[in-house]
């Protein structure tokens, strides 16, 4: 196995994308205790928006605006129609419910656009290679890493420097107490869902550039890996969750390119076996070093 | 006084299975396939119920055991003469083995049970979300291996040339076996202890129940039943690794949730109700007529409707159609 610079760049860019998705999933989990299996379908909806915009001949910026609009509206609908009625149920019930929503959205896409999918050709200009010191790196790899880093820094600032950020952190520590102290539940949840939607839209753009063929199961496999990554990293805190998502994305990105096909086809087996091992050894997450103990 | 052993808890689910099978004998042969398929789904959902219903722990991994059962029964049932043509890379010890229908089903159940035991020994320590994700990981691994490992099956190809022995009778008998095992287990000491851990893990521990051991017992039994159901399934129609993956996981979980997770009756009712709806919609996707109206629905409608139904049940009635209760003849008696 030889790891090239391109493999590393792919690893970093996939890791960055998965880190964004992990934050999106983790933010909603923080305030709602809900693992959103349908997160990938938000990305899929955004990708279809891009593909349709490019089919209608819209300029790239208009496509991206449409993508954000579709994903954000869908996120708010999901919150209002599904998450809110389910508030307070056990995490397992909510996971099954979002599983249902995921299949629902996938089948709506199947009904509307067919199983062959659509091609978003207008975004392909971002997929050209750059020549950096004799090494060809795809532009999108750099863009993905830069965008992800910027988003994560902005989010960290929002969480630590603003009032709504304080409310969100308080809610994810103890929602009940936070509400008693005057945190407005619906507002905090709506903001978390919106930010999570913004991240989904960004991921939709980045993923569509990398693979312009948008099908109804777009981002489904990615979501499964990200959910595993988030749980592996530690669901309760945004930074461990991000690191979990990043590490799985990085591992898949590097190994998927570097291993020969006969071995890389078994990559999911190794990744998910590693996930199981981590869950057994550190059930609260690989990167969660806080010292709280479950009490009876 | 409350009866300890109430037979109506098993008579009604079993009666529903038999009724569905009898109804299936009245219709045309092409429609009969849907009834047979439904009965196999009943077997899978009852297998899910044995673990999920009694333990309250979610599992996304049971379809792995269905898949392993299907692969076991399939690979041993394909006639030896055509094996090299269909599966050229098959491992040597599988190439010349051939067993009859019943043996293949027993072996399917055994493989499902052993696999569940092996997986369960480490995994049953987990609960909640970690358990959900870990069982999901098991499903991913099984799917990945079955899809590419051509030494144990057809790989990406369809599992063809398996004798189609699962008719209405075999499917109904298989479903009844599952219902009977599930009933006996749920009424046994083990089943009661496991349900105690579901209601209050701390209290159950305090009276000496081992959460881990009880979950492992249920997981193994439910893996056994899932393997049997997989064996029935591969004898019904040619399957691919892809048909024993997310879609089947979704639809069987939907059946269990819609019926009511915590009762055997719920598992059977959910499987029958959702199957009936799903089958009718699948027929309608190819065009059918209803009361003289021509109905022609686009592909994907069945999953769409089932998805809406599942989400609605979870939101409006989280304990399912049956409310998670068993059927008792004297239901309207004062609550005990």
Rounded Cα distance between A175 and A183, Å, is 9
| pLDDT bracket for residue A65 (50, 70, 90) | very high
Nearest to A182 by CA among A191, A170, A194: A170
Rounded Cα distance between B34 and B302, Å, is 14
Q: Is residue A177 part of a domain?
A: yes
Q: Which pLDDT score, from 0 to 100, does residue A92 have? A: 66
Higher pLDDT, A126 or A113: A113
Q: Is A66 helix (H, G, I), strand (E, B) or coil?
A: helix
Q: Of how many residues is chain B composed?
A: 336
Nearest to A38 by CA among A105, A89, A93: A105
Q: Of how many residues is chain A composed?
A: 296
Nearest to A14 by CA among A273, A226, A224, A283: A226
Nearest CA in chain B to A265: B148
Rounded Cα distance between B76 and B87, Å, is 12
Rounded Cα distance between A293 and A295, Å, is 6
In the numeric block, which tokens belong to residue B274?
A: 């959702």
- Those residues of chain B that have pLDDT short of 50 are 1, 332-336
Structure-token match 């610079």, residue found: A5
Is B129 close to A92, i.e. CB distance below 8 A? yes
Q: Which pLDDT score, from 0 to 100, does residue A114 have? A: 83
Which of A189-198, A261-270, B45-54 shows the lowest per-residue confidence on average (mean pLDDT)?
A261-270
Q: Is residue A289 part of a domain?
A: no
Interface residue ranges in chain A relative to chain B, Cβ cutoff 8 Å: 35, 82, 85-86, 89-93, 95-97, 99-101, 103-104, 106-108, 110-111, 115, 220, 224, 227-228, 231, 235, 265-266, 268-269, 272-273, 275-276, 279-280, 283, 296
The secondary element (H helix, E strand) that includes residue B294 is strand B293-295
Name the residue facing A268 among B144, B253, B318 (closest C-beta): B144
Structure-token match 């299907």, residue found: B70
Query: Domain limits of chain B?
Result: 8-242
Exposure b/e, A88-115, CB count within 10 A at least 16 = b: ebebbbbbbbbbbbbbbbbbbbbbebee
Structure-token match 């491992």, residue found: B91
Residues above pLDDT 70, as percent of chain A: 95
Distances (CA, A) of A55 to A116, A124, A203: 15, 13, 20
Q: Which pLDDT score, from 0 to 100, does residue B336 have? A: 46
In the numeric block, which tokens belong to residue A257?
A: 């390119």
Helices A5-32 and A185-210, interaxial angle, to 10°? Answer: 160
Structure pTM?
Answer: 0.90
In the numeric block, which tokens belong to residue B282?
A: 């699948």
In the numeric block, which tokens belong to residue B332?
A: 């309207």
Q: How far is A120 from chain B (nearest CA, A)?
A: 23
Residues in A touching B308 (Cβ below 8 Å): 104
> What is the C-alpha R_g of chain A?
19
In the numeric block, which tokens belong to residue A167?
A: 């409310």
Nearest CA in chain B to A295: B202
Residues in B touching A273 (Cβ below 8 Å): 137, 141
**At a CB cut-off of 8 Å and minimum separation 6, what does A16 contact?**
A144, A145, A147, A148, A149, A246, A249
Q: Which pLDDT score, from 0 to 100, does residue B235 have? A: 95
Q: Is residue A48 part of a domain?
A: yes
Interface residue ranges in chain B relative to chain A, Cβ cutoff 8 Å: 56-58, 122-123, 125-126, 128-130, 132-134, 136-138, 140-141, 144-145, 148, 202, 246, 250, 253-254, 257, 298-301, 303-304, 306-308, 310-311, 314-316, 318
How would DSSP label each residue in A76-103? Answer: HHHIIIIIHHHTTS-HHHHHHHHHHHHH
Distances (CA, A) of A121 to A57, A63, A143, B92: 10, 11, 18, 49
Is B141 close to A268, i.e. CB distance below 8 A? yes
A135 - beta bridge partners? A132
Rounded Cα distance between B130 and B254, Å, is 21
Is B129 close to A101, i.e. CB distance below 8 A? no
Identify the domain containing residue A177 by its residue range. 5-281
Is A100 close to B137, i.e. CB distance below 8 A? no
Q: Which pLDDT score, from 0 to 100, does residue A31 have? A: 83
**At a CB cut-off of 8 Å and minimum separation 6, what does B74 contact?**
B153, B159, B162, B234, B239
The interface predicted TM-score of the complex, written ipTM, equals 0.87
The secondary element (H helix, E strand) that includes residue A221 is helix A220-233
Q: Is residue A286 part of a domain?
A: no
Is A104 close to B308, i.e. CB distance below 8 A? yes
Structure-token match 């959460």, residue found: B211
pLDDT of B140-155, one tens digit each? 999 999 999 999 989 8
pLDDT value at A19 more than 70: yes
Residues in A touching B148 (Cβ below 8 Å): 265-266
Q: Is residue A191 part of a domain?
A: yes
pLDDT value at A49 more than 90: yes
Rounded Cα distance between B66 and B223, Å, is 8
Name the residue facing B303 among A107, A220, A272 (closest C-beta): A107
Query: Which of B52, B61, B141, B259 should one mutate to test binding to chain A, selecting the residue with the greatest count of A CBs within 10 A?
Result: B141
Rounded Cα distance between B56 and B199, Å, is 8
> Across residues A59-65, what is the average pLDDT?
91
What 8-state DSSP symbol labels residue A259? S
Domains held by chain A: number: 1
> Across residues A155-165, what is the average pLDDT?
90
Q: Is residue A292 part of a domain?
A: no
Residues in A touching B141 (Cβ below 8 Å): 268-269, 272-273
Residues in B touching A97 (Cβ below 8 Å): 310-311, 314-315
pLDDT value at A47 more than 90: yes
Q: Is residue A294 part of a domain?
A: no
A119: left (phi over 0), alpha (psi -120 to 50) or beta: beta
Q: Is B295 helix (H, G, I), strand (E, B) or coil?
A: strand
Q: Which pLDDT score, from 0 to 100, does residue B1 have? A: 42
- CATH number, position A209: 1.10.3470
Q: Which pLDDT score, from 0 to 100, does residue A191 have? A: 92
Rounded Cα distance between A226 and A218, Å, is 14
Residues in A touching B132 (Cβ below 8 Å): 35, 92, 95
Q: Is residue A87 part of a domain?
A: yes
| Most confident of the ranges A7-21, A124-138, B290-304, B308-322 | A7-21
């Amino acid at each position: 196995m030889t790891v090239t610079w391109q493999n590393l760049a792919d690893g970093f860019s996939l890791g960055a994308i998965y880190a964004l998705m992990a934050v999106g999933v983790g933010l909603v989990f923080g305030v709602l205790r809900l693992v959103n299996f349908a997160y990938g379908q938000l990305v899929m909806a955004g990708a279809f928006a891009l593909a349709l915009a490019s089919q209608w001949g819209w300029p790239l910026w208009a496509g991206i605006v449409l993508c954000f609009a579709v994903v954000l509206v869908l996120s708010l609908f999901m919150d209002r129609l599904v998450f809110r009625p389910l508030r307070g149920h056990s995490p397992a019930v909510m996971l099954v419910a979002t599983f249902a929503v995921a299949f629902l959205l996938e089948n709506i896409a199947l009904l509307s656009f067919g199983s062959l999918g659509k091609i978003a050709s207008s975004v392909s200009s971002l997929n050209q290679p750059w020549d950096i010191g004799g090494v060809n790196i795809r532009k999108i790899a750099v863009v993905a890493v830069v965008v992800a880093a910027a988003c994560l820094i902005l989010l960290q600032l929002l969480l630590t420097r603003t009032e709504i950020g304080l409310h969100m952190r308080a809610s994810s520590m103890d929602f009940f107490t936070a509400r008693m102290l005057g945190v407005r539940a619906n507002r905090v949840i709506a903001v978390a869902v919106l930010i999570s939607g913004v991240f989904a839209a960004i991921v939709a753009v980045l993923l569509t550039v990398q693979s312009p063929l948008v099908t109804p199961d777009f981002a489904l496999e990615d979501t499964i890996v990200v959910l595993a990554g988030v749980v592996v990293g530690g669901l309760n805190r945004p930074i461990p969750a991000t690191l979990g998502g990043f590490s799985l994305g990085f591992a898949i990105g590097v190994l998927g390119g570097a291993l020969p096909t006969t071995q890389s086809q078994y990559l999911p087996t190794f990744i998910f076996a590693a996930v199981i091992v981590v869950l057994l050894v550190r059930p609260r997450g690989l990167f969660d070093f806080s010292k709280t103990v479950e009490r009876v | 006084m409350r009866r300890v052993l109430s037979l109506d808890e098993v008579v009604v689910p079993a009666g529903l299975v038999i009724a569905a099978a009898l109804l299936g004998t009245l219709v045309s042969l092409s429609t009969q396939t849907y009834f047979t398929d439904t009965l196999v789904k009943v077997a899978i959902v009852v297998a899910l119920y044995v673990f999920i219903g009694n333990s309250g722990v979610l599992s996304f991994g049971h379809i792995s055991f269905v898949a392993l059962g299907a692969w076991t029964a399939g690979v041993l049932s394909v006639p030896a003469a055509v094996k090299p043509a269909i599966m050229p890379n098959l491992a040597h010890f599988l190439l010349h083995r051939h067993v009859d229908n019943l043996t293949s089903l027993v072996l399917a159940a055994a493989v499902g049970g052993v696999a569940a035991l092996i997986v369960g020994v480490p995994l049953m320590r987990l609960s909640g979300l970690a358990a959900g994700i870990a069982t999901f990981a098991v499903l991913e691994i099984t799917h990945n291996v079955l899809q590419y490992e051509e030494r144990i099956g057809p790989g990406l190809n369809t599992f063809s040339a398996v004798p189609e022995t699962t008719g209405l009778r075999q499917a109904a008998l298989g479903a009844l076996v599952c219902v009977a095992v599930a009933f006996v287990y749920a009424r046994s000491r083990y089943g009661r202890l496991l349900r105690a851990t579901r209601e209050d893990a701390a209290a159950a521990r305090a009276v000496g129940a081992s959460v881990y051991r009880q979950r492992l017992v249920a997981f193994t039994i439910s893996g056994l039943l899932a393997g049997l159901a997989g064996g029935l399934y591969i004898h019904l129609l040619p399957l691919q690794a892809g048909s024993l993956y997310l879609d089947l996981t979704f639809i069987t979980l939907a059946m269990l949730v819609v019926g009511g997770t915590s009762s055997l009756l719920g598992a059977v009712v959910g499987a029958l109700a959702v199957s009936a709806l799903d089958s009718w919609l699948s027929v309608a996707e190819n065009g059918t007529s209803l009361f003289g109206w021509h109905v022609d629905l686009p592909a994907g409608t069945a999953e769409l409707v089932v998805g809406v139904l599942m989400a609605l049940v979870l939101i409006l009635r989280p304990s399912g159609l049956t409310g998670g209760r068993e059927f008792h003849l004297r239901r309207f008696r004062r609550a005990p």
